Amino acid sequence: MRSLVMSDVETKTEWSHLLGRGMAGKLKGRKLKPVITDMITWSVWKEQHPDTTVLDMSRTSRKYSSQFYRDPNRFVFGFEVNGQAYALPMTDMKANPVHQFSKGKQPFLATFDREGAVTHLFERHVDGRVLDFEQVNDLIMTDQQTASHWNRRDGNCVQGEQQGKMLTQRVGIMSFRNAWQNFHPDSQDVSFDH
Protein backbone atom coordinates (compact mmCIF):
# COMPACT_ATOMS: atom_id res chain seq x y z
CA MET A 1 0.00 0.00 0.00
CA ARG A 2 3.04 2.31 0.52
CA SER A 3 1.40 4.66 2.98
CA LEU A 4 3.07 6.32 5.95
CA VAL A 5 2.01 5.36 9.46
CA MET A 6 3.18 7.67 12.24
CA SER A 7 3.28 7.15 15.98
CA ASP A 8 3.19 9.99 18.48
CA VAL A 9 5.67 9.99 21.37
CA GLU A 10 3.19 10.85 24.12
CA THR A 11 0.49 8.22 23.62
CA LYS A 12 2.06 5.83 21.07
CA THR A 13 -1.10 6.17 18.96
CA GLU A 14 -0.59 5.11 15.35
CA TRP A 15 -1.81 7.69 12.84
CA SER A 16 -2.69 7.40 9.16
CA HIS A 17 -1.34 10.42 7.31
CA LEU A 18 -3.88 9.95 4.49
CA LEU A 19 -6.82 10.04 6.90
CA GLY A 20 -5.34 12.15 9.68
CA ARG A 21 -6.99 9.76 12.10
CA GLY A 22 -5.73 7.59 14.95
CA MET A 23 -5.86 3.97 13.78
CA ALA A 24 -4.62 2.19 16.91
CA GLY A 25 -3.74 3.18 20.46
CA LYS A 26 -5.05 5.54 23.10
CA LEU A 27 -6.33 8.15 20.60
CA LYS A 28 -7.84 5.69 18.12
CA GLY A 29 -10.63 7.36 16.14
CA ARG A 30 -9.51 10.91 16.92
CA LYS A 31 -8.97 13.19 13.92
CA LEU A 32 -6.10 15.64 13.53
CA LYS A 33 -6.65 19.14 12.16
CA PRO A 34 -5.05 19.22 8.68
CA VAL A 35 -2.53 21.93 7.83
CA ILE A 36 -1.25 23.08 4.46
CA THR A 37 2.19 21.70 3.70
CA ASP A 38 4.37 21.40 0.61
CA MET A 39 6.29 18.42 -0.67
CA ILE A 40 8.79 20.40 -2.74
CA THR A 41 12.35 20.19 -3.99
CA TRP A 42 14.96 21.79 -1.74
CA SER A 43 16.25 24.10 -4.49
CA VAL A 44 12.83 25.71 -5.09
CA TRP A 45 12.07 25.92 -1.35
CA LYS A 46 15.44 27.62 -0.71
CA GLU A 47 14.81 30.04 -3.60
CA GLN A 48 11.47 31.05 -2.07
CA HIS A 49 12.71 31.05 1.55
CA PRO A 50 16.46 31.89 1.48
CA ASP A 51 16.76 32.18 5.28
CA THR A 52 15.44 28.67 5.92
CA THR A 53 17.30 26.41 8.32
CA VAL A 54 17.06 22.63 8.22
CA LEU A 55 16.53 19.93 10.81
CA ASP A 56 18.90 17.21 9.61
CA MET A 57 17.32 13.81 10.21
CA SER A 58 18.24 10.40 8.92
CA ARG A 59 16.53 9.52 5.67
CA THR A 60 14.41 6.48 5.07
CA SER A 61 13.92 6.93 1.32
CA ARG A 62 15.61 8.21 -1.79
CA LYS A 63 16.23 11.87 -2.49
CA TYR A 64 13.11 13.80 -3.53
CA SER A 65 13.41 15.48 -6.93
CA SER A 66 11.27 16.32 -9.93
CA GLN A 67 12.11 12.82 -11.23
CA PHE A 68 9.94 11.41 -8.43
CA TYR A 69 6.96 11.65 -10.81
CA ARG A 70 8.63 10.09 -13.86
CA ASP A 71 5.73 7.59 -13.85
CA PRO A 72 2.81 9.96 -13.10
CA ASN A 73 0.21 7.19 -13.44
CA ARG A 74 1.24 6.05 -9.95
CA PHE A 75 0.33 9.34 -8.23
CA VAL A 76 -2.61 11.57 -7.38
CA PHE A 77 -3.03 14.79 -5.43
CA GLY A 78 -5.81 13.98 -2.97
CA PHE A 79 -8.12 16.38 -1.15
CA GLU A 80 -11.58 16.56 0.41
CA VAL A 81 -14.52 18.90 -0.10
CA ASN A 82 -17.40 18.63 2.37
CA GLY A 83 -16.31 15.12 3.39
CA GLN A 84 -16.06 13.79 -0.19
CA ALA A 85 -12.58 12.66 -1.30
CA TYR A 86 -11.23 13.64 -4.72
CA ALA A 87 -8.06 12.87 -6.63
CA LEU A 88 -6.23 14.94 -9.24
CA PRO A 89 -4.37 12.47 -11.49
CA MET A 90 -0.73 13.48 -11.89
CA THR A 91 -0.84 12.51 -15.56
CA ASP A 92 -3.34 15.34 -16.08
CA MET A 93 -1.38 17.80 -13.91
CA LYS A 94 1.89 17.19 -15.75
CA ALA A 95 0.17 17.53 -19.14
CA ASN A 96 -1.59 20.79 -18.22
CA PRO A 97 -0.17 22.33 -15.02
CA VAL A 98 -2.89 25.00 -14.60
CA HIS A 99 -6.33 23.42 -14.17
CA GLN A 100 -9.60 24.78 -12.91
CA PHE A 101 -12.66 22.84 -11.91
CA SER A 102 -15.65 23.02 -9.61
CA LYS A 103 -16.95 20.69 -6.94
CA GLY A 104 -20.48 21.53 -5.96
CA LYS A 105 -20.61 25.30 -6.11
CA GLN A 106 -16.96 25.69 -5.12
CA PRO A 107 -14.55 26.72 -7.90
CA PHE A 108 -10.95 25.50 -7.56
CA LEU A 109 -7.61 25.92 -9.29
CA ALA A 110 -4.85 23.30 -9.23
CA THR A 111 -1.29 24.13 -10.27
CA PHE A 112 1.73 21.91 -10.79
CA ASP A 113 5.29 23.27 -10.72
CA ARG A 114 7.64 20.95 -12.58
CA GLU A 115 10.83 22.44 -11.13
CA GLY A 116 9.59 22.21 -7.55
CA ALA A 117 7.69 18.97 -8.20
CA VAL A 118 4.83 20.42 -6.16
CA THR A 119 1.05 20.65 -6.61
CA HIS A 120 -1.11 23.34 -5.02
CA LEU A 121 -4.87 23.62 -4.69
CA PHE A 122 -6.43 27.10 -4.49
CA GLU A 123 -9.88 28.61 -4.27
CA ARG A 124 -10.69 30.87 -7.24
CA HIS A 125 -12.76 33.44 -5.32
CA VAL A 126 -11.12 36.85 -4.99
CA ASP A 127 -13.10 39.80 -3.60
CA GLY A 128 -16.44 38.13 -4.25
CA ARG A 129 -15.87 37.05 -7.84
CA VAL A 130 -14.64 33.86 -9.45
CA LEU A 131 -11.49 34.22 -11.55
CA ASP A 132 -10.59 32.02 -14.53
CA PHE A 133 -6.89 31.26 -15.00
CA GLU A 134 -4.55 30.24 -17.79
CA GLN A 135 -0.83 29.55 -17.90
CA VAL A 136 1.59 32.24 -19.11
CA ASN A 137 4.87 30.42 -18.41
CA ASP A 138 6.42 27.98 -15.92
CA LEU A 139 5.95 30.39 -13.01
CA ILE A 140 3.16 32.81 -13.98
CA MET A 141 -0.54 32.46 -14.75
CA THR A 142 -3.06 35.17 -15.61
CA ASP A 143 -6.73 35.61 -14.82
CA GLN A 144 -9.07 36.31 -17.73
CA GLN A 145 -11.14 38.87 -15.82
CA THR A 146 -8.37 41.41 -15.03
CA ALA A 147 -5.29 40.10 -16.91
CA SER A 148 -3.38 40.24 -13.62
CA HIS A 149 -0.32 38.02 -13.24
CA TRP A 150 -0.20 35.44 -10.44
CA ASN A 151 2.63 33.28 -9.10
CA ARG A 152 1.65 29.63 -9.60
CA ARG A 153 3.76 28.48 -6.65
CA ASP A 154 2.09 30.52 -3.93
CA GLY A 155 -1.06 32.10 -5.42
CA ASN A 156 0.27 35.64 -4.96
CA CYS A 157 -0.72 38.29 -7.53
CA VAL A 158 2.52 39.94 -8.64
CA GLN A 159 1.28 42.37 -11.32
CA GLY A 160 -1.91 44.10 -12.40
CA GLU A 161 -5.21 45.15 -10.86
CA GLN A 162 -5.13 42.33 -8.29
CA GLN A 163 -1.50 42.92 -7.21
CA GLY A 164 -0.98 42.07 -3.55
CA LYS A 165 -3.96 39.71 -3.40
CA MET A 166 -3.47 36.04 -2.53
CA LEU A 167 -5.47 33.02 -3.60
CA THR A 168 -6.61 30.94 -0.62
CA GLN A 169 -4.74 27.64 -0.57
CA ARG A 170 -6.57 24.43 0.37
CA VAL A 171 -5.22 21.32 2.07
CA GLY A 172 -4.22 18.47 -0.23
CA ILE A 173 -1.71 15.64 -0.19
CA MET A 174 0.43 13.89 -2.77
CA SER A 175 -0.15 10.15 -2.64
CA PHE A 176 0.42 6.92 -4.45
CA ARG A 177 -2.83 6.31 -6.34
CA ASN A 178 -3.34 2.84 -4.82
CA ALA A 179 -2.82 4.09 -1.27
CA TRP A 180 -5.28 6.97 -1.77
CA GLN A 181 -7.90 4.57 -3.16
CA ASN A 182 -7.38 2.12 -0.30
CA PHE A 183 -7.98 4.80 2.32
CA HIS A 184 -10.65 6.63 0.28
CA PRO A 185 -12.52 3.94 -1.67
CA ASP A 186 -15.28 6.42 -2.67
CA SER A 187 -12.77 8.95 -4.03
CA GLN A 188 -13.59 10.47 -7.41
CA ASP A 189 -11.10 11.59 -10.04
CA VAL A 190 -11.42 15.25 -10.93
CA SER A 191 -12.44 16.21 -14.44
CA PHE A 192 -11.28 19.65 -15.43
CA ASP A 193 -13.25 22.58 -16.84
CA HIS A 194 -12.19 23.56 -20.32
Tell me the per-residue pLDDT of 55-83, one tens digit each, with 9 for 90 and over: 766 665 555 555 666 788 889 999 999 98
State whether residue 171 is helix, strand or coil: coil
Whole-number Å distance between alpha carbons of 172 and 109 = 12
**For the chain, domain boundaries:** 1-33, 34-189
Whole-number Å distance between alpha carbons of 156 and 162 = 9
Mean pLDDT lowest among 22-26, 58-62, 143-147: 58-62
60 or 45, which is more confident = 45
Specify whether the CB–CB gap between 63 and 53 falls below 8 A: no
Return left, alpha or beta for 25; rule: phi > 0 is left, psi -120 to 50 is alpha, else beta.
Answer: left
The 10s digit of each residue's pLDDT in 71-128 is 888 899 999 999 899 999 998 888 889 999 998 789 999 999 888 888 999 999 999 9
Length of the chain in residues, anyone? Answer: 194
Whole-number Å distance between alpha carbons of 155 and 13 = 36
pLDDT at 37 over 50: yes
Whole-number Å distance between alpha carbons of 170 and 173 = 10
β partners of residue 5: 16
Signed CA dihedral, 75, 19, 13, 37: sign only:
positive
Specify whether the CB–CB gap between 170 and 122 falls below 8 A: yes
pLDDT value of position 1: 46
pTM of the full structure = 0.80
Signed CA dihedral, 142, 146, 150, 152: sign only:
negative
pLDDT at 31 over 80: yes
